[in-house]
Structure 1
Amino acid sequence: MNTPNTPPGSKQRLVAVTLDEASIGRSNADVEHERKIAIYDLLEQNSFVPVGHEGDGPYTLHLSINGNRLVFDIRREDGTPVMAHLFSLSPLRRIVKDYYLICDSYYQAIRTATPDKIEAIDMGRRGIHNEGSRILMERLKDKVAIDSDTARRLFTLICVLHWRG
């Protein structure tokens, strides 16, 4: 089993993440900022091992949406295909919608609200984000071993694929 926050030299990690531009659509500056931070943080520190491929990494991941399916295209660093998984987005649909709504409230609040109100909204945002990450880990458990920090960042990227801005 992989350890949380696998160090940069490890083979049990992602070294590149791309998002399908056709799946993303146009987005606003807040969404673009979230995407860039999530990818940066994910690549800085992650733990990612396709089940049955321990030691074959490091890996690259291309995320896209095909209909109502999330596509995880996993490859080795040299581009050699490892596996592709398609996951139904239905279990994440409600939590992603809730996350959009609270993020919109948060971005509006940081411009005009009191610090107490911003903190309360941010706590709610983090709670929804944690729930989405937990669902994602559960959905991936038989396919890809990830730690909770990696799941959080992947959840953010999945939201960005949905978020039209």
Structure 2
Amino acid sequence: MAYVWNSALQKKAGELHGDAWTIEIDETIEENGAAPSWHQYISGSFAQFRCSLCRRGWGSSKVKVVFHFNLNTASRRGTIKLRGFKQECKTCSAPQWERPQFPVENMDVLMEKLVKKIRMRCYRENLGETNRPPVFNGRIDGPHETAHCEACRLGRCSQAN
């Protein structure tokens, strides 16, 4: 999964002053838990899920994504840590936490917004406040399944009803 995110990041890499940036998946990072020299960006997006037990699939437009990022100016290398909060199947009696699978279009929008945050926070660029409307490749209506959302269980979901 990190490969796909790194591929989306490389589409925007030209905006990062020639520095080398990589993304790693880190399921331990927490909202407001970034180390002092790290920055944080939190967003939400549509993603697909598939139950590893019954193979049922579903989509959610309320998947929380947390990024922590840091630029080592001496080595000109940046690191991005990413956590996409999981969901579980609502029909299985002993469901597993399933990882979100983001459509490429949604990953591109997330990377565009993340790169803007990196440029503002790590390179101190003044980019103003332009908002690109979110892209949701998938269904965006329907209830939020609070009982099956990892972020809700951890008290980190702003979508909880």
**Greater relative contact order, per chain length (Cα 8 Å cut-off, separation 6+):** 1
Q: TM-score w.r.t. structure 2 length?
A: 0.29
- With normalisation by structure 1, the TM-score equals 0.28
Larger fraction in helix: 1
Structure with the higher strand share, 1 or 2? 2
